[in-house]
Amino acid sequence: MFAHLSLRFFLLYLLLKALNFGFEWLLVNPDTPYKAAWLALLMASSFLMAPCVWLLAREIDRNAPPRLWPIAWGQCAVVLAGFILCIPLFLAANQSVLLVDPSRAKPHWFNLTHTTMVGAVLLYLVQVPWYLSRSVSLFRERLRINKFLFSNIDEPALNALRALIWVMAASWLFNLLRMLHTMILEPSQVWNLLISACEIGVTITALYVIFKRCWQYSVDDQTMVESVSPELKEQASLLQGDKCAKYAKSSLDQTTRTRVAKKILAQFEEEKIYRKNGLKLQDLCVATNESAHYISQVINQELGFSFFDLVNKYRIEEAQQKLKQNRDLPILDIALEVGFNSKPTFNKAFKLRVGQTPSEFRAK
């Protein structure tokens, strides 16, 4: 499904999620003994899930599995601290179906278990947002790079990462609600079942989206990403800053940039290259006989667009003409003619640029 990705962290995340659901079921089942042990294992395994999503984000960003040994000691220390804080709760387990059996619990041990549980929960509530922010940053960076390379920016691995980020955020929120309910109100089996059902529903929906919407880039596409990514990571922020200052060290002089810009505009205005479904930066490079670095810089510096936005600009402008001139032609046919691969994608891009849906624009 994902070219050049090992999926080890994705599969590990799914395994941990399945174990968590199993532990939750054992906790809500009224006849299950050793509830404290299952809760301790649930809490301990939760400290590994956010790092798995973050490592998947790093793998997507680098197109290669990240090595584990360079991970910051602070991150490892947080996971280890979470494990240690769960040990007293695990040792407090017994054959009783109660989470804590008052007849067997010693006061000092009960206090220690309660304190370490609260510490583990607070640590988890801090850990997950940190990894969420890091994963979202890597996701946005890769998305910006794709805008310089492809007319369709839905990368399969990014679809998976987007879904897992939502699952991680939802799980964090559900666990927070579960904790607050337990602290403020009496523990409720119905409430726990409801929270677990919601969490399972979110996870199943995310997995459906992953396997429904993911499609595979070719090896050539992945090779292009790897070859130009270092330069594009710097270029991706240029649309928000001073292009002249940031391109000061570029080897492209004004004469060369003007020549390349004319070739690019000729392909769009005369050859209508944007009509090609799935158009990539590499296709434009072949058509103009220029390098990806030259094309990308000129589109950004001279034309003021990313490749994705430039393609959509020409597609939407032609679509506007066809919507007015061919009022009986189905909108899907127009979308396909100008280069879009689906009506939802066309509607989203059209409304983003024009401020109206194609139907609303045609009805004016």
In order along its 364 residues, the chain shows pLDDT tens digits of 344 556 778 788 888 988 888 888 887 787 888 888 888 998 899 999 899 888 878 877 776 667 666 567 888 899 999 999 999 888 887 776 666 655 555 667 778 888 898 899 899 999 999 999 988 888 888 777 777 777 766 656 677 778 878 888 888 888 887 777 765 666 666 777 787 788 778 777 777 666 655 544 444 555 555 555 555 555 555 444 545 555 555 667 889 989 999 999 999 999 999 999 888 888 999 999 998 888 988 998 889 888 889 999 999 999 999 998 888 899 999 999 999 988 888 998 899 999 999 999 988 7
Measured CA to CA, the distance from residue 182 to residue 30 in angstroms comes to 17
Please say whether the beta carbons of 148 and 235 come within 8 A: yes
Partners of 280 in the beta sheet?
150
Q: Classify the C-alpha dihedral 313-316-318-321 as positive or negative.
A: negative
Taking only the tens place, the pLDDT of each residue in 206-253 is: 776 666 555 444 445 555 555 555 555 555 554 445 455 555 556 678
Note the pLDDT of residue 160: 73
Q: Measured between alpha carbons, how far is residue 192 from residues 16, 41, 144 in Å?
A: 19, 17, 40
Residue with tokens 């599995």: 65
Backbone angles phi, psi at 22, to 5 degrees: -65, -45
